[in-house]
Structure 1
């Protein structure tokens, strides 16, 4: 098989592990920086190239799409798709999952519980919306952000409005979200590959931090994956049309809540915490798709 790994960082842990594992399984794997790719739409058809060399004959493409180059990456991924290459996550599904509001809308109509959330650009409506999601403190998060960026806790209505007005000033949108106090800065990351929840870890935020992201100093340790959480993670992943995902789940007094579904989850934390070979699972999924 000929596999493209779409990533700006060929030395990053996840990209390196996927590429090395694919090569060990005797596949021709090429890491492609989407910001260096040229897309051509010509009378004779679609063309994709890097440094003047056509990207042809790829059987599968594994996208590792970061927020810094998301639009460019999705354009390149879509070109691969239209040229007949099987994606392990489609451009449409990634775009949907990266929009926190849109993702929550889709999860809700599929009957998947999430933290109560609201959005509005009218300052006069904010106080009521905060009450509607459970009252202060609330979490304010930009609708597009990764690794915990653009997420703050507002302790009062006034502070929430101040944060929102700052975000609006940058022409961005923000969610007002219920603060799940009982989670105590902890969540469970379930890694889904295809039709299997392959493993899980519990992430704990660093001292003084409420976000459990490992990039922010959080820690991860292996946790037994219950049937309930595995089923929830699979349902959330497939509701958004994804094949590979890291599903972040909060344990609340209302039961488990899906906080976020990450379309490009990092491998290092979960492989280190669990000892699982997630990269192998990803390559095997590519083999099954082709």
Structure 2
């Protein structure tokens, strides 16, 4: 299989591990900076060039598109899809996952548990909006924040109003959620590949913080997700259309609640905590899905 990884930096742990795993499984691989990919779009076909040379012959692509380049990176990925390159995480699925409001609406519509979330635009509606949510503490999240950035905890109603007013003054998009106190600053990252949770880790927030993200100083250790937690994680990834995803759950009294579905989950923390070769699992899954798709097309072609 001729494989591409879309990544701004080939030296990043996740990109490097995927490249190592691909070569260990005897696949041809190249890491491509999505910002150096450029495309021709026409009714007579689609073309992609990379650093002055034609990109062709790739069987599959694994997107590792950072939040800062979501728009252009997803356009590059969409072009590759139109050129019949298989990807486990399609461009539209990545866009759905990156938009917290949209993803929460989609998950809730399928009956998947998540913290109660409110969203509004007009300052005149703030008081009623917060009454729909309930008493503080409240968690306020920027709509497209990552790695815990842009996530704030307000413990008083006046503080919630002040933060909301400030964010609206900056024309920021955000959601407000209930705070799940019984979780005690911990969450569960389930790494979903296809129809399986291949690894899980429990992340605990550092003293004085409520965010358990490893980039914010959180600590991680390997964990065993319950059957219910695995089912929720797999369903959440499927609803958004992701074949590979990091699904963050919080353990609440009413059951597992989805905090976020990450379309480009990091591998370092989960591999260190769980001891699982997650990179190898991803490459094996991509190869299997690509070959299954090719076999189906060969059968359809013979019948046609």
TM-score range (shorter-chain normalised) is over 0.9
Unpaired runs of at least 5, structure 2:
291-304
Distance between the aligned counterparts of 2:69 and 2:178, measured in 1?
30
Does structure 2 retain, via aligned residues, the 8 Å contact 1:37–1:49? yes
Does structure 2 retain, via aligned residues, the 8 Å contact 1:94–1:242? yes
Unpaired runs of at least 5, structure 1:
none
Task: Please show how residues 18-29 of structure 1 align to structure 2 within 5 Å.
Answer: 18-29=18-29
Equivalent residues, number: 290
Q: Which residue of 2 aligns with 1:32?
A: 32
Distance between the aligned counterparts of 1:213 and 1:264, measured in 2?
15
Give TM-score, length-normalised by structure 2. 0.93
Distance between the aligned counterparts of 2:131 and 2:202, measured in 1?
30
Does structure 2 retain, via aligned residues, the 8 Å contact 1:141–1:175? yes
Task: Please show how residues 36-75 of structure 1 align to structure 2 within 5 Å.
Answer: 36-42=36-42, 44-75=44-75
Q: Which runs of 4+ in 1 moved over 3 A?
A: none
Task: Please show how residues 111-190 of structure 1 align to structure 2 within 5 Å.
Answer: 111-190=111-190
Distance between the aligned counterparts of 1:127 and 1:179, measured in 2?
18
Select the structure of larger CA radius of gyration. Answer: 2
Distance between the aligned counterparts of 1:26 and 1:161, measured in 2?
56
Does structure 2 retain, via aligned residues, the 8 Å contact 1:130–1:138? no
Q: Which residue of 2 aligns with 1:98?
A: 98
1:12 lines up with 2:12 in the alignment: yes
SS of 2:134's equivalent?
Answer: coil
SS of 2:259's equivalent?
Answer: strand
Give TM-score, length-normalised by structure 1. 0.97
Deviations 1:236-289 (A, max 9, x none): 110111101111111112211111111111000010001000001100111112
Does structure 2 retain, via aligned residues, the 8 Å contact 1:193–1:244? yes
Distance between the aligned counterparts of 1:51 and 1:42, measured in 2?
21
